[in-house]
Structure 1
């Protein structure tokens, strides 16, 4: 039975083995999977569907990372925000953990919950309003869906991630970084208001001016204090076209020097960069920059490229539509899916490296890193300005500029020993960067301890702890992050 066949609660085949999943407060007894059917029958009528069939549960126990597999006992596909309120209140009574799942693009089980309830947010996917400077959307809307609608009115979100098939609620839970971050901050810095269901099953509306404590605890809060169900996103005027520049460098220091120059004077709308493997071994450096424009106004290439020290006669310049540029990964993703690689394990590593340490750290890594170490996954390196970062739980190193250094590994072949080695390498680089004053961007596959999380959120650790106790006192939400 699928979601469209019914607008009522549907239960399908709980697993038979008697595994303890929670404590039934009303009956003062532990709940096992064998007794869960009768417990779920106590739910009130919902607008959506609760699934307990093996196929749906198994799918919710796998994410894009395909490394951690934690199978829930139920998956809610909500038909309304009230469904989420009801399921959290139900879970609280029975002390069952809950996790929200957008597009399942997490890499290390962050959106999974062992023997708990997964809320599949993809069914809450309505765009409620698009105005001259904002859009109101459900958390399950993906960014490409919003972008296609706002462009009809000549508008765009200020910051988009490189892959735009991610849910709005998902990226707002972690931060949301992209090539325009040097101008506008991360996606959470461009949110005007959110509606949240807390861990006690209450709907709250919050912003910088209303219920600000919850607002700052949820945005980039890794799902610890509430589930975002609706967001009001800032919009700005959109260009129709993009001129894309790809500039190649043989020297890391020259490459990062030019990147810093470009984000300082903001001559480009978009600035990123990559390490590109040489055929003979080693790495070159690719500076990716883009200028957004609408004819008859045309970018001046000479002005845009002045003072840059890239390797001459290697530049590639191309014009695309604004949407095609932002959706540029779609053909690559389609190809990876067609050959099966998209489902391979992805032990991704994302680090924020201090400006003063980036050449040393990246230089040391590049000296020994091979294509086999990444599974031919891309390696990103680009700077952003920290002055635009407004949310306390989005953690980056001190300084006016920090660099995102991301090794987006794919385990090829997808065997456990290779995955274990990649995870071990991630942990070592995480520690090396941490000792330099750096942070992880928490979308990574890194084995972390609770002390690591205390370090990560310091000096706001106590702030998060207090918010967790207030908004999720039973510690139900998002256990896959392993923070509490």
Structure 2
């Protein structure tokens, strides 16, 4: 298998023998068949496109065991073992995998969620200290017990704290509060050198900002201090339909300019009846929309959605606020719908769709997703590009499209946004598909991935000026182009916090280096 791979295996064996850490495998489990059996879950992710098996899996009981592992690997002679932290395993392109390396299962850390509620008149902020492997849905449940909640979310809550903070964490609240990485007060991190560091904007700030949006390249997040605010009791959730993309996007941009009235803004393309099925539980009344509008037409429609939070002391004014906002919108006459749901059910809305997909055998399948950040100036052209590459009436999945605001992102973090000049508006476009194995063969999946690549190339290399989110590249040159002006800073931070390139090999950014002691 080659000398370097042989040396990697020897070092893993030495680690297992010499460490008190709790590995799934014992030293006798390194025959190829047993490796595949015992590390099967660590070679899988939500995308089910890459299947890179590690040689070992670590289930740490505390951050010190992670530190011990990385300290050992940093000092080991001839070691080329890499390490990836795995949270919920919701990556798309194998980002949390480590071929022939070690995967750290973060959910084995003892779950810890400690809520600090600021008392009236007390200085400071309300916050939660949460272990890196905990899920956002668990933080939501615990914080709601005392009437608090984080400000910024992802659409799907069964993701780990450390996982989303390593990317950005975006959803319909991003326009107002920024991504999740803009709502963190402090982190506990184990660097690639094995150092345990508590960092914040004032304490080890370079590491703090490196790790946020850093794709796991600089350290493993073992704990995070998340900013909290008063939680609403209920949410007024509105959806309106459009047959004109320009009007649809203008109305979305109007909504994100109304930060003091609107709490959430998203939207999606309505390509066919399946586009609405996932949300029919919340909005059953408009399921006749497709039949009525598509009876004699194959046009694409658009659904704008926004939400207003309902606090008990302000409940009487919510309907007035919604009416005031709705009057300023130019949706198709009579095609507007609203529901009132609990705050928890609103934030956990994708769970219903997950249950539906699981019941149809469409959850644990390949997901050739595509996520793009598109400048306002190029969004119409990007919409056209998408429609040139898909067939609306046969498309299976959802295409989300909604605006965020650049000034809500901290430029010190590692996260990358497209250059939009002086324009503050950037669009998120997510093409979310499930490759049904009964109708989509291996060849079909390859064609979908090729389709995504064509869209990415056209959108990033043309005057659209888009950037890929949750991306995967195989060449360092491509990563340099992705990070653009931030690339040199990214390289400097990498050399400081993970000089041997041990961490996050699944991202495909760096090649592992030998120990500096050689």
User: What TM-score does the superposition give when structure 1 sets the normalisation length?
Assistant: 0.90
* Deviation, structure 1 residue 282: 3.7
1:127 aligns with 2:112: yes
Tell me if 1:39 matches 2:39. Answer: no
**Residue 139 of structure 1 contacts residue 169 of structure 1 at CA under 8 Å; is this kept in 2?**
yes
Q: Out of 295-304 and 130-139, give the one that drifted further.
A: 295-304
Report the Cα offset of residue 87 of structure 1. 1.5
1:388 and 2:408 matched: yes
In structure 1, distance between residues paired with 2:4 and 2:55:
8
What do residues 249-298 of structure 1 show as CA deviations (whole Å, max 9, x unaligned)? Answer: 00000000000000012231000000012455342100011111123523
Write the distance in 2 (CA, Å) between the matches of 1:41 and 1:243.
54
The answer to whether residue 49 in structure 2 is matched with residue 67 in structure 1 is yes
1:462 Cα offset (Å): 0.8
Q: Residue 42 of structure 1: CA displacement? A: 3.0
* Corresponding residue of 1:406: 430
SS at match of 2:303: strand
* Contact 1:241–1:321 (CA under 8 A) maintained in structure 2: yes
Q: 1:239 to 1:141 in 2, by over 3 A?
A: same
Q: Is 1:320 matched with 2:352?
A: no
Alpha-carbon offset, residue 470 of structure 1:
1.2
> Are 1:442 and 2:469 matched, yes or no?
yes
Q: How does 1:257-406 map to 2 (within 5 A)?
A: 257-266=250-259, 267-278=261-272, 279=294, 280-298=297-315, 299=318, 300=320, 301-366=322-387, 369-371=390-392, 374=395, 376-390=396-410, 391-397=412-418, 398=420, 399-406=423-430
Local SS of the residue matching 1:387: helix
Unaligned runs of 5+ in 1: 1-17, 23-29
Partner Cα distance (2:54, 2:465) in 1: 34
Which piece of structure 1 moves more, 124-133 or 94-103?
A: 124-133
Against the structure 1 CA distance between its residues 125 and 317, is the aligned structure 2 distance closer, same or farther, given a 3 Å change threshold? farther
Partner of 1:15: none
Displacement of 1:45 in angstroms is: 1.5
User: Contact between 2:12 and 2:56, CA under 8 Å: does it hold in 1?
Assistant: no
Separation in structure 1 between the aligned mates of residue 128 and residue 267 of structure 2, nearest angstrom: 30
Q: Is the 8 A contact 1:248 1:285 kept in 2?
A: yes
Distance 1:459 1:437 in 2: 18
2:93 is aligned to 108
How far did 1:96 drift?
A: 0.5
| Whole-Å separation in 2 of the counterparts to 1:388 and 1:125 | 33
In 2 relative to 1, CA 283–320 (structure 1 residues): closer, same or farther, beyond 3 Å?
Answer: same
Deviation of the 1:86 alpha carbon: 1.4
Contact (CA 8 Å) 1:282, 1:366: kept in 2 or not? no
Q: Write out per-residue CA displacement over residues 408-465 of structure 1, whole angstroms, 9 at most, x where no aligned residue.
A: 1222334221221111111121122213353434324x55532221011121111111
1:19 CA drift (Å): 6.6
The number of aligned residues is 456
Cα distance in 2 between the residues matched to 1:386 and 1:319: 30
User: As a proportion of its length, which structure holds more helix?
Assistant: 2
Q: Determine the structure 1 residue equivalent to 2:514.
A: none
Does residue 454 of structure 1 match 2:480? Answer: yes
Aligned residues: CA RMSD: 1.9
Change in 2 beyond 3 A, CA 1:439/1:448:
farther
Relative to structure 1, the CA distance from residue 226 to residue 289 in structure 2 (aligned partners, 3 Å threshold; closer, same or farther) is: same
Q: Distance in 2 between matches of 1:20 and 1:72?
A: 17
1:121 positional shift = 0.5
Is the Cα–Cα contact under 8 Å of residues 473 and 509 in structure 2 kept in the other structure? no
Stretch deviating more after TM superposition (431-440 or 158-167):
431-440
**Do residues 117 (structure 1) and 102 (structure 2) align?**
yes
The 8 Å contact of residues 160 and 176 in structure 1, kept in 2 or not, is answered as yes
> Aligned with 1:343: secondary structure?
coil
Residue 127 of structure 1: how far off its partner (Å): 2.6
Question: d(CA) in 1 for partners of 2:186 and 2:435?
Answer: 39
2:496 corresponds to 1:470: yes
- Residue 199 to residue 312, structure 1, CA distance change in 2 (3 Å): same
Counterpart CA distance in 2 for 1:37 and 1:263 is 51
Go from structure 1 to structure 2 and tell me whether the alpha carbon gap of 1:395 and 1:113 turns closer, same or farther (over 3 Å shift): same
Cα drift, residue 363 of structure 1: 2.9
Between 102-111 and 281-290, the greater mean CA deviation after superposition: 281-290
Q: For the Cα contact (< 8 Å) 2:370–2:431, is it kept in 1?
A: yes
Residues 1:32 and 1:262: Cα distance change in structure 2 (over 3 Å): closer
Aligned residue among 71, 94, 97 for 1:89: 71
State the distance in 2 between where 1:275 and 1:108 align.
Answer: 24
Q: Is 1:76–2:84 an aligned residue pair?
A: no
SS of corresponding position for 1:425: helix
Distance 2:114 2:352 in 1: 30
